[in-house]
Amino acid sequence: MLLTVAIVDYGTGNLHSVIRSLNRLGTNGTVASNSEEILRSDKIILPGVGHFGRAMQRMQSLGLVPALNHAVLVDKKPILGICLGMELMAKRGEEGDSEGLGWFNGEIVRFRIKNELKYKVPHIGWNQIHISKDSRLMKDIPEASEFYFLHSFHFAMSDRSSILNETEYEYTFPSAIEKDNIFGVQYHPEKSHDLGVQLLKNFLDL
């Protein structure tokens, strides 16, 4: 049976890069902009770049939040959040002072950088991940692998059991999270060459 992967379109995100990466793996991603397409899917990818508060408003106005909550929390469909898509899984975001989806007990905060000459915001480019726990999402991805980042905000969370990866940028921040069927990565696997394709393959194989 053909796997159905819904790539959630809420007016922000790098959908075409994700689709191209899935095509490399022989899987056709379906752009989903309504609740029915999300609920019919086997797996969900929530991409995104941009403003936290406006993204949540957009998803609410499209009626996507109830569908995502049902698909993820009730039907237990695997979901992968990418960059802003991961951030939206938090309880709250500083940007726009907005509530998020609330799937993880944490908030999204702007980088608090002291050495602004060395560490620019946004954090752009390649950086290492450190793997905090065993996960099928990390299969065949070595410790200290490099992925591509582009963000000004990051997760702040006290529950370390949900942290999958951490990354250093003047200080340590969570760069991937995992809880049950919910996965999120701050970096962009669709822009991270072979290791990014491997991560997406791992997600498809869950």
Is 190 in the active site?
A: yes
Say which of 37, 83, 95, 178 is annotated catalytic.
Answer: 83
Is 123 in the active site?
A: no
Is 188 in the active site?
A: yes
Q: How far apart, in whole angstroms, are the C-alpha atoms of residue 81 and residue 182?
A: 8
Distance, C-alpha 105 to centroid of its chain: 15
The amino acid present at 162, given as its one-letter code, is S
**Dihedral sign computed on CA atoms, order 166, 168, 169, 172:** positive
Q: How is residue 12 written in tokens?
A: 């922000």
Residue 153 has phi, psi (to 5 degrees) of -125, 160
- Give strand pairing partners of 177: 163, 184
Catalytic residue positions, numbered? 83, 188, 190
